């Protein structure tokens, strides 16, 4: 079945450090890929997405590129801020699969001043 694997956490970084959060997937069809973020005390919200190979999603300084050859969708940010501290979820959806988002386990990012 469809699945998403995220790197183990938690991750702690200093402000202005470079961030990479790894995400790989397994899907029976041609999925769309997403990153969701959950800030403390809030619900999950869509951060960025990509719907086809080599697409790059970007938002709030975060980027992720859909790599079909490596089945990956790694999240990156050049300079993290304290306000980026949150839980990050990678997810996929396969068109025609009855509209279901499949999530990874999530990873907690803490950014210290």
Partner 1 sequence: EAGVTQSPTHLIKTRGQQATLRCSPISGHTSVYWYQQALGLGLQFLLWYDEGEERNRGNFPPRFSGRQFPNYSSELNVNALELEDSALYLCASSLVYGSANTGELFFGEGSRLTVL
Note the residues at the interface with partner 1 (CB under 8 A).
4, 32, 34, 36, 41-46, 49, 51, 89, 91, 93-95, 97-106
Distance CA 57, CA 76 (A): 11
- In angstroms, give the least distance from the CB of 89 to partner 1: 7
Q: Which is nearer to partner 1, 98 or 113 (CB)?
A: 98
- Which among 37, 44, 42 has a CA at the least distance from the CA of 86? 37
Q: Which is nearer to partner 1, 61 or 95 (CB)?
A: 95
- In angstroms, give the least distance from the CB of 42 to partner 1: 6
Q: Which is nearer to partner 1, 46 or 53 (CB)?
A: 46
Q: Which is nearer to partner 1, 8 or 69 (CB)?
A: 8
The answer for residues whose C-beta is within 8 angstroms of residue 19's C-beta and 6 or more apart is 11, 13, 75, 76, 77, 80, 84, 109
Which stretch of DSSP H or E encloses residue 108? strand 107-112
């Amino acid at each position: 079945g469809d699945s998403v694997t995220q790197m183990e956490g938690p991750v702690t970084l200093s402000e202005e450090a470079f961030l990479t959060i790894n995400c790989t997937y397994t899907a029976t069809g041609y999925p769309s890929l997403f990153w969701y973020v959950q800030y403390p005390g809030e619900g999950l919200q869509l951060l960025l997405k990509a719907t086809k190979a080599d697409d790059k999603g970007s938002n709030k300084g975060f980027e992720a590129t859909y790599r079909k050859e490596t089945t990956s969708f790694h999240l990156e940010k050049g300079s993290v801020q304290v306000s980026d501290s949150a839980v990050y979820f990678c997810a996929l959806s396969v068109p025609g699969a009855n509209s279901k988002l499949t999530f990874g386990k999530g990873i907690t990012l803490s950014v210290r001043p």
